[in-house]
Amino acid sequence: MGKQEIRAFKAGFFREQGGFKSFFPEPINREWVIDEPDIAVLLSEADLKLGELSALSRYVPEVDFFIKMHVAKEATTSSRIEGTQTSIEEAVLSVEDISPERRDDWREVQNYINAMNFAIDALNRLPLSTRLLNETHRILLESARGEHKLPGEFRRSQNWIGGASPRDAVFVPPPHTEVQTLMSDLEQFLHNDKIQVPLLIRIAIAHYQFETIHPYLDGNGRLGRLMIPLYLVEKGILTKPTLYLSDFFERNKTLYYDNLMAVRLSNNLSQWIRFFLVGVSETAVNAVQTLQSILKLKEEIEGEKILSLGKQASRAKQLIGELYKTPVLAATDVMKKLNVSAPTANNLLERLQNLGILKEITGYKRNRLFAFHAYLALFQR
């Protein structure tokens, strides 16, 4: 295991497979030498921004409620990259509140939320490993469109990206016979304490390699993006899983795919790392702004607005606490959560609506849903 200068890296080679060429990536578990000053500057900036985010998330009260919304946003955005169309308002609803024709998309987003929550919790007992990824993948594809695509297992056949078959594909990953060895190498690289490679550089390279191996028949994009916050939390760079890059990748979708392909076609790993580090910095800044905006909104609502309700202020504050967890709800939800009668629940909802805290979103006379719209808007920017 020698040293590898990043500028001299050969990403791999294409091999004829009978009508198409698949890509055989080089192993990545090695000591990487990065002597490009601009990458050092970008790395320093990204580390600084992540430190600010980690410090803020440590001191924000009830941060775990807000992380649930980060997870919901990540799930909708990451799934949208794959073509699934579900809004964040829909993502926080129960299945009975989703129209039948949209339930398949909703289920995929729920699976992603469940998979993320499982993986974050699993870090308490497992390292970021092929075992953890397989268990997470199983949940990701559960009872959804990918349920027949080997949930929780590496692929046992050739896959491809773009096109109707490997023959007209944009990119053909390595044959399935190579997957286990390549994924073992990737896992060793992430946890190799005998090499001096900055952690952000490691996860940047690992994400590229994961997407190049494409180890599963389905769900590779979502799982590859989820690896990033999991690694940052596992290594203590973040105290809480508050950084998700899918929004940055979606807004720069063409660049995202072009930079990954540029590594495979022209060995340009440096440019991929630059793009990744810029994404980390930008996303960390946005996450800090979101947390600060939540604190400001919390102060505004729980101060003057709630106090204006007089005797109902205490109950309204309790309901606001629930809204941070579930920002779209019905009168029946209020009855259960606060243990109150239907008239009391409806009266409370009406008063919060009059204060501009809640907005009715169905337009129905019955079975109405109320959204904590100012809060939701913070995750839609």
Beta bridge partners of 285: none
Inform me whether the pLDDT recorded for 303 exceeds 90: no
Segments forming the whole domain that contains residue 272: 3-290
Euclidean distance between CA atoms 98 and 77, whole angstroms: 18
Exposure of 276 in the CB half-sphere (CA atoms within 13 A): 24
Looking at the structure, tell me whether residues 84 and 143 fall in a common domain. Answer: yes
109 vs 16: which has the higher pLDDT: 16
State the pLDDT at residue 46.
Answer: 98
Does a structural domain hold residue 297?
no
Inform me whether the pLDDT recorded for 232 exceeds 70: yes
Over the stretch 235-260, which tens digit does the pLDDT of each residue have? 999 988 889 999 999 999 999 999 99
Looking at the structure, tell me whether residues 362 and 238 fall in a common domain. Answer: no
Does a structural domain hold residue 300?
no
State the pLDDT at residue 372.
Answer: 94
Does a structural domain hold residue 303?
no
**DSSP code at position 27:** P
Contact 359, 371 (CB under 8 A): yes
Structure tokens at 235: 């290594």
Euclidean distance between CA atoms 210 and 186, whole angstroms: 8
Inform me whether the pLDDT recorded for 381 exceeds 70: no
Looking at the structure, tell me whether residues 179 and 314 fall in a common domain. Answer: no
The domain boundary, picked from 233, 258, 290, lies at 290
Does a structural domain hold residue 113?
yes
Looking at the structure, tell me whether residues 98 and 225 fall in a common domain. Answer: yes
Over the stretch 318-344, which tens digit does the pLDDT of each residue have? 999 889 888 999 999 999 999 999 999
Inform me whether the pLDDT recorded for 71 exceeds 90: no
Euclidean distance between CA atoms 378 and 289, whole angstroms: 9
Inform me whether the pLDDT recorded for 61 exceeds 80: no
Q: What is the mean pLDDT of the chain?
A: 91
Domain at 37, CATH number: 1.10.3290.10
State the pLDDT at residue 113.
Answer: 86
- The number of beta carbons lying within 10 Å of the beta carbon of residue 330 is 19
Looking at the structure, tell me whether residues 246 and 359 fall in a common domain. Answer: no
Mean pLDDT, range 366-375, rounded to an integer: 90
Looking at the structure, tell me whether residues 284 and 319 fall in a common domain. Answer: no
Looking at the structure, tell me whether residues 332 and 284 fall in a common domain. Answer: no
The distance of Cα 73 from the centroid of its chain, to the nearest Å, equals: 8
What is the reported pTM?
A: 0.92
Does a structural domain hold residue 296?
no
State the pLDDT at residue 190.
Answer: 97
Over the stretch 139-161, which tens digit does the pLDDT of each residue have? 999 876 666 789 999 999 999 99
Band (pLDDT 50/70/90 cuts) for residue 99 is confident
Inform me whether the pLDDT recorded for 7 exceeds 70: yes
Over the stretch 125-141, which tens digit does the pLDDT of each residue have? 999 999 999 999 999 99
Total structural domains within the chain: 2
